[in-house]
Structure 1
């Protein structure tokens, strides 16, 4: 029986120490901690999934609550990457299974969860080619031709990357390589993985490893005509008009939301970024025809902005501007109406 099973309290306490060290960008301290636990008999997979992964989720929560800066969050993630590398260097099982290519979809830079998957697969006996963040689809296909893997594991943390993920997984399948996908971008229940025709989906790294080892791929059949809604061209037209919509929204919002008159240049830049994210998530929701994808994002981002003293009215004002501008986009307008309601419901203090 592993130490994880016999002394979970020890690992929980170690998790608090680990979070403290990565929060201080203490690379040596974090690496010493995980290697010490590994030497004490804690399984490498447990360290990856029960120590490092929860700490990184906590890092995200602390950033969302405005308790950690972006710089501190980035520093903590960089230290975790080194800790993962240190564990991988110590635990080197001989490959006994097939070959898996692991990559983040094009435009996806949240690589740490996908790196965790790569290391879990290595520990389970797979030969793994980890290609890292934001791998362009054509280059991934070239790699598949050169290496001939048994499957591709594709990570996507942000739903805004789903259209590119769809193109990539379709291209992989076209050259005869099945694709298992994961990451929050595909939905907590994997519904977007099914919609876009992935051969398999897993919520966690260990679940993905189990599926690949026990059942292989494909795990469910590719859908047919599930993207028929794209024939209305709302997604295509919205993506083409993104720049003009963003410019117009900034001008209109300045007049509609008086506090913006006193914004600094940095605050104006942040506002433009927030409006851009709204358009990107709206585009993704149109692509998969899922209003919940958009309203969940609006509720979350409203909470994040509240933690930074930006009232929900600012979010709702931006949503109304886009609603009024997109007069010929019935699906988008309906999503925006429901998003305004979601922002209103999220008009509470964010507590972490």
Structure 2
């Protein structure tokens, strides 16, 4: 059986919610001598990437995606129960930043680090910053691994990174929320960034801890425009929704579910705009707009709807030049 066939079979099992067959398949691979690291990264991680793509293409529902992810999490637990590794290195705290709910990637990271000899404290999804810091004072780890998959969580990631480093604990960051190549991670004060679980294992094993910079160097980000957008988020969304029918008449025929989804999308526009302003990086917003354009197209929503939403938010920010520039960059993405 080829690796491609194996992943296809595994994807089918988790897509059907067949927990028992998925676990049986993975335990069989372990019995055949396949390293658990390869199963975690290539099989489970690879299948999860496909799950996300299937949802984005509107081929899988959110419910099916959630069910498949839950099965994958139980498969990871089965691997953990079958494999043993005594700690020979140090201790690592692993967590998702506050508001980040994509926990499977860091669950895989926790197992990869455990297999490499680290004592791991896996704190899971959406860990509030104060609780994370309390845990650090109680346990005194050698490192903190923080995951951020959505750029809208960057302000909270920054707060967590600053708090960890102020407590004297270096931080390795991961997740696509930190941008291509982790370009925002260092800007927010992280001591290192890793593109995936394997790279994180290598970084922690080879050159850890890195020299720590003064945590105050990157302690202050966000300006008046960012603050305005965050504080006026409800009004920006509410006003845009109230005016949407005039600019995009098709919305008059939406049912309540469609209206709720549209309001959620309007909230994403405001949130990604705020994130872009926070780190002064328009690419956060343009990447979001390009991705949203593709997702909406898969759901039969024309680009005109997205253009209308961008313009309605823009019209409320005429006195904020940086925000206008970011939105205009996003509008250019829709025009392509």
Same fold (TM > 0.5): yes
- 1:278 corresponds to 2:269: yes
Cα separation, 2, equivalents of 1:10 and 1:223: 48
- Name the counterpart of 1:105: 97
- 1:152 corresponds to 2:139: no
- Name the counterpart of 1:348: none
The alpha-carbon deviation at position 226 of structure 1 amounts to 6.2
- 1:312 corresponds to 2:303: yes
Stretches (4+) displaced over 2 A? 9-12, 217-231
- Name the counterpart of 2:192: 200
Which of residues 334, 337, 351 is equivalent to 2:328?
337
Q: After superposition, what is the alpha-carbon deviation per residue over 1:233-287, rounded to whole angstroms, capped at 9, x for unaligned?
A: 1111100000011100001111110101111011100000000011101100000
Which of residues 118, 130, 135 is equivalent to 1:143?
135
The alpha-carbon deviation at position 188 of structure 1 amounts to 2.2
What are the residue-to-residue correspondences of 1:1-352 with 2, within 5 Å? 10-218=2-210, 221=213, 230-231=222-223, 233-345=224-336
Check 1:171–1:178 CA distance in 2 against 1; reply closer, same or farther (3 A cut): same
Cα separation, 1, equivalents of 2:211 and 2:254: 51
The alpha-carbon deviation at position 224 of structure 1 amounts to 7.4
The alpha-carbon deviation at position 10 of structure 1 amounts to 2.5
State the secondary structure of the residue aligned to 2:28: helix
The alpha-carbon deviation at position 308 of structure 1 amounts to 0.4
Q: TM-score, normalised by structure 1?
A: 0.93
Mark the runs of 5 or more structure 1 residues left unpaired by the alignment.
1-8, 346-352
Cα separation, 2, equivalents of 1:287 and 1:224: 17
Instruction: Say what the alpha-carbon RMSD is for the aligned residues.
Output: 1.5
Cα separation, 2, equivalents of 1:312 and 1:42: 46
8 A contact 1:194–1:222 mirrored in 2: no
Mark the runs of 5 or more structure 2 residues left unpaired by the alignment.
none
8 A contact 2:189–2:218 mirrored in 1: no
8 A contact 2:146–2:173 mirrored in 1: yes
